[in-house]
Every structure is written in structure tokens, then in C-alpha cells.
């Protein structure tokens, strides 16, 4: 039986104390571009900084994918409830249905950094991954220099399982990548 059958309801939107994680909307463009164009946001990413055309292409893709259900890749925007604006995005992708594994990743506007927003959103997504989706294992990667990202993973109880040396070459420089994972049986300990 597939993890997400045609009659399985979506596991989102998700709501936390400060956030709403939901499918993107066309009117989210300005908020998304406000972080996607910033060099400090994409410093450790293989993409960006975005031009308006690049952000439009990404948002159009997200909207196209969001129109389908079921789907194994879910990209959600992270909306700050107080401000009523999108401050980031988070993605969960089922990588291996048979072994019930997925990976996730996230990006946030610098105004949201250092406030626990990333951890709060990721905790909600992991709760869905190990709850309604019934996943066995969720993993994530990040540049070894991205202390904010691996800090979020460690706050969630994820363990660093290894470091890939000279793993990727974004922007012409080799980068090392940390690999983190968490099992369903470890969630919530």
C-alpha cells in the first residue's frame, strides 16, 4: 500500500503557536522573493540569489505541484501569524516509499533567524512525518558551515550520521556536507 493513497487526506496545512505552514499562493510572490534574493540566505544553497524571474519560476512550479494530490513532495510556505506574511519555506519529500524514508529542507528570511522559527516549523513537519505519514526515517543535509541549519537539526534530536567531504560544488567551490537523520522510534524522546 502506498504511503499516500488517492483517498489519503493531505497532512497539511499545519499550525503552530506562531506559524501556519501551508501550500503557496500566487500572492506570496513578494514575500518569497524578499528572502530568495538575499545573498546571506542562499550562501549555503546550490541556488540563488534569485532574480524576480527565478522566483516566479519556482513559485509557478510550487503552485503547479500544489494543485495535485496525492504527491510525495510537499513544499509549504511558512507564514508568520502575527505579521500575516510568508517568512520562509519548508519541504518534505518521500524518497523511498518501500523503506518509508523522506528528507526535508528549509529556508527563512533573515528577520526570522535566531527566534526558534526554523525549529518550530521543522518540528511540525516531523510530527506529520512520524504521525499521519507513518514514516520510519527522516533525513536532512546542510553545509558544514551552516551552523544555524545543523543547530535546528540537533534541537530536533536528529543525529549527525556523517560528513561528506567535498560533496557538492556550488558557486565553483567544493563544500563539505553534514548528514543528519532521525528514526520514528526516536521522535519525541
Indicate if the pLDDT at residue 1 is higher than 60.
Answer: no
- Among the listed ranges 113-127, 145-159, 166-180, which one has the minimum average pLDDT value? 166-180
Model confidence band, residue 148 (pLDDT cutoffs 50, 70, 90): very high
SS in 3 state form for the chain? CCCCCCCCCCCCCEECCCEEEECCCHHHHHHHHHHHCCHHHHCCCCCCCCCHHHHHHHHHHHHHHHCCCCCCEEEEEEEECCCCEEEEEEEEEEEECCCCEEEEEEEECHHHCCCCHHHHHHHHHHHHHHCCCCCCEEEEEEECCCHHHHHHHHHCCCEEEEEEEEEECHHHCCEEEEEEEEEHHHCCC
| pLDDT tens-digit readout, 61-83 | 999 999 999 999 999 999 999 99
Q: Picking from 128-132, 136-140, 155-159, 169-173, which range would have the lowest pLDDT averaged per residue?
A: 169-173
Q: Quick one: pLDDT at residue 7?
A: 79
Of 151, 152, 165, 160, the C-alpha closest to 181 is 160
pLDDT of residue 188: 79
The reported pLDDT for the residue numbered 2 is 58
Q: What is the pLDDT of residues 121-147, one digit of tens each?
A: 999 999 999 999 999 999 999 999 999
C-alpha distances in angstroms, 161 versus 17, 132, 168?
A: 31, 26, 18
Q: Do residues 143 and 149 touch, judged by C-beta distance below 8 A?
A: yes
pLDDT, average across residues 3-8 = 74
Provide the mean pLDDT of the chain.
Answer: 95
Whole-model pTM: value is 0.95
Phi/psi at 110 (nearest 5 deg)? -55, -30
User: Are 89 and 76 in contact, with CB atoms under 8 Å apart?
Assistant: yes
Q: What is the pLDDT of residue 170?
A: 86
Q: All domains of the chain, ordered by start, with CATH?
A: 14-186 (3.40.630.30)
Q: Is the pLDDT of residue 153 over 80?
A: yes
| Residues 117 and 107 sit within 8 Å (Cβ to Cβ) | no
pLDDT value of position 145: 95
At residue 171, the pLDDT reads 85
CA distance 85 to 30: 10
pLDDT band for position 3 (cuts 50, 70, 90) = low
**How far apart are the C-alpha atoms of 71 and 36, rounded to whole Å?**
24
The predicted-structure confidence for 100-109, as pLDDT tens digits, reads as follows 999 999 999 9
Alpha-carbon span 62 to 77, nearest angstrom = 10
Amino acid at each position: 500500500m502506498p504511503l499516500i493513497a488517492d483517498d489519503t487526506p493531505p497532512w497539511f496545512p499545519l499550525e503552530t503557536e506562531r506559524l501556519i505552514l501551508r501550500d503557496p499562493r500566487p500572492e506570496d510572490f513578494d514575500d518569497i522573493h524578499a528572502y530568495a534574493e538575499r545573498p546571506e540566505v542562499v550562501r549555503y544553497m546550490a541556488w540563488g540569489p534569485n532574480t524576480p524571474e527565478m522566483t516566479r519560476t519556482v513559485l509557478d512550479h510550487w503552485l503547479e505541484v500544489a494543485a495535485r494530490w496525492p504527491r510525495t513532495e510537499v513544499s509549504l510556505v511558512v507564514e508568520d501569524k502575527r505579521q500575516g506574511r510568508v517568512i520562509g519555506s519548508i519541504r518534505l519529500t518521500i524518497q523511498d516509499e518501500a523503506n518509508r524514508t523522506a528528507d526535508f529542507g528549509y529556508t527563512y528570511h533573515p528577520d526570522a533567524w535566531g527566534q526558534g522559527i526554523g525549529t518550530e516549523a521543522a518540528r511540525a513537519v516531523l510530527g506529520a512525518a512520524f504521525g499521519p505519514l507513518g514514516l520510519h526515517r527522516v533525513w536532512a543535509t546542510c553545509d558544514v558551515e551552516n551552523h544555524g541549519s545543523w543547530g535546528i537539526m540537533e534541537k530536533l534530536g536528529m543525529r549527525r550520521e556523517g560528513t561528506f567531504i567535498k560533496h557538492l560544488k556550488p558557486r565553483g567551490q567544493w563544500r563539505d556536507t553534514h548528514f543528519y537523520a532521525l528514526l520514528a522510534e526516536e521522535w519525541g524522546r
